[in-house]
Amino acid sequence: LLVGLVYVFHMLIFPDTIPYWRNEGFKFLIPISIPIILCMVSIKNINFFILALKHISYACSILGLLFGLRTLTGRFVLSEYSMGFGYCILLPMLVLFYQRKIYSIIISFLLFMLLVVYGSRGPLLTIAVFLLYILISKKSFGLVGLIVVIGLAGFNVFVSYIDSLGISSRTISMILGGNLDAESNRDVISQKAIDLINANPITGYGLFGDRKPIGDWCHNILLEVFCDFGVILGSILLLLF
């Protein structure tokens, strides 16, 4: 009922968002994202959550490995890279790695290979922060520096080896080309979003309201929330979730 009311509200107040509701809202937001959020906030037993997360990570890993195998064998064609795939296997990969069991680490490494080949570069930053957190939490700061240097060198060797096998991707090309930090027009997109927020900071432009004027999504959750819901309601939603 609430979703229906919100949809009708957008039809009346923000009609430009309706095509994006049909393409994104009814395919991902309503059937997938909202149920996940509701399940997360309803969990009271953290131990149960961790146990469920471990089981789900194995299930997602199987699906991710099957996807990678079908892509490598040419049964599934991926044009360039998949941001969604990279982020989908990111959490299972980190969960399995953190278990520190031989078989879970092996699965985690295989997922990491697929992420480098078929995913976007964003998850790589999350992995780096995750590993640094583990090392710093051990309070072995000298060891942290040593592992960072060895890790960066080993990562470059690993990527070069994948490239030598004839496996190429956008992420691999950016790493080997030394332009992993290239903005890829994100600065232009961010500025457009900021201009939209400044033009209408109170009400925003409605859910998915950034899509049409920007011609893309914001690639920045803070800007997207403020652009869609306005600064006041957007700030409340960010504080709640």
Fill in the amino acid letter for 194. I
The model's pTM is 0.72
**pLDDT tens digits for range 58-95:** 998 998 888 877 776 766 666 667 777 888 888 899 99
Q: Would you put residue 14 in left (φ > 0), alpha (ψ -120 to 50) or beta?
A: beta
pLDDT at 108 over 80: yes
**pLDDT tens digits for range 34-45:** 777 777 778 888
Nearest to 210 by CA among 199, 232, 198, 225: 225
Coil, helix or strand for 156? helix
* Mean pLDDT on 13-24: 84
Q: How confident is the model at residue 132 (pLDDT cuts 50, 70, 90)?
A: confident
Which positions ≥6 away from 112 have C-beta within 8 Å?
93, 127
Q: How confident is the model at residue 223 (pLDDT cuts 50, 70, 90)?
A: very high
User: What pLDDT is attached to residue 148?
Assistant: 65
Nearest to 120 by CA among 72, 155, 84: 84
- H helix count then E strand count, the chain: 12, 0
